[in-house]
Amino acid sequence: MGWLEGYVAAVTGGASGIGLAVARRYLREGAGGVAILDRDIGGLSSLAAEFPGRLIAVAGDVRDAAAHTELVTRAITSYGKLDVLVGNAGIFDFRRPLESYDPETLGAAFDEIFAVNLKGYMLAAMAAREALAKSNGSMIFTASVASLYAGGGGILYSTVKHGVIGLIRELARELAPAVRVNGVGPGGTLTNLRGSEALGQAERSLADKAAEVEARIAAAVPLGFAQRPEDHTGLYVLLASRDNSRAVTGEVFMSDGGVRVRPL
């Protein structure tokens, strides 16, 4: 028997990387249905085949409120309720520092990165709030090592990921006692995380230099390995499970190889 027997989840950015690993793990833990919102749902066919009738894919952009409404509506229409929202879709800035911008490029990249990485989470929360209150469910947002420390991203990514912690805490306060709201903070993880279109990085991916990224992360963290999406999924299961984290809200669990205890 899994930890999420009969649960229904909605996952943004669930067609790749960490979101895909979370969706797969939820289904393996017994989830009755998982609905995924992603702008590119092409990679979901093997998951759909592995769990027939238990996966819904909604193609859309997390900056669009209507896409979130469709995600939640389709989950409820197909599976009768919603227990968990995982806000996860995001893009990177490939560590661009402030000095590399002028006001125009900063404005365009700010609007895009904040809209995807933070407004997308708020719109998801807005769409799922009522259904989760009915089920006494929870929200889990993907934060980052960049939510706590400088250097995990550039000026925009680090700032927006710090903002995710503010979002989690504020929503945890606003939605208590009906809905718990928490986060998971991955460290450098081997995924296809892409960059900002406004910065001309839309086709650039962490995977382009996977071996280099893997070696750099492994050398930088006390546990000595670069994380894989599957390494984080247990925390998403724990935080979703009413039986196992009933008293946890407003928290962000880091899953970063021990950055906090890195030697100076």
For ligand NAD, the closer of residues 7 and 236 by Cβ is: 236
Q: Give yes or no for residue 257 binding ligand NAD (CB under 6 A).
A: no
Of 225, 229, 251, nearest in space to 239 by CA: 251
For ligand NAD, the closer of residues 59 and 248 by Cβ is: 59
User: Shortest gap between Cβ of 200 and ligand NAD (angstroms)?
Assistant: 16
CA–CA distance from 132 to each of 11, 163, 180, 237, 238 (Å)? Answer: 14, 23, 9, 16, 17
Strands 84-87 and 180-186: unpaired
List the interface residues with ligand NAD, window 114-143 (CB under 6 A).
116, 142
For ligand NAD, the closer of residues 142 and 245 by Cβ is: 142
Closest CB to ligand NAD belongs to which residue? Answer: 17
Which of 191, 233, 241, 245: binder of ligand NAD (CB under 6 A)?
191
For the chain, the straight-line distance linking the first and the last C-alpha, in angstroms and rounded, comes to 44
Give the separation between CA 22 and CA 175, rounded to whole angstroms: 23
Q: Return the percent helix, strand and coil in the chain, to nearest 5.
A: 50, 15, 35
Which of 9, 22, 38, 235: binder of ligand NAD (CB under 6 A)?
38
Binding string, 50-79, against ligand NAD, x = CB under 6 A?
-----------xxx----------------
| Region near ligand NAD per CB under 6 A, out of 3-11, 46-54, 95-103, 188-196 | 188-196
Pure H helices in the chain: 17-28, 45-50, 65-79, 103-114, 120-135, 155-175, 210-220, 233-240, 242-245
> Which positions lie near ligand NAD, rule CB under 6 A?
13, 15-19, 38-40, 61-63, 88-91, 116, 142, 144, 186, 188-189, 191-194, 206
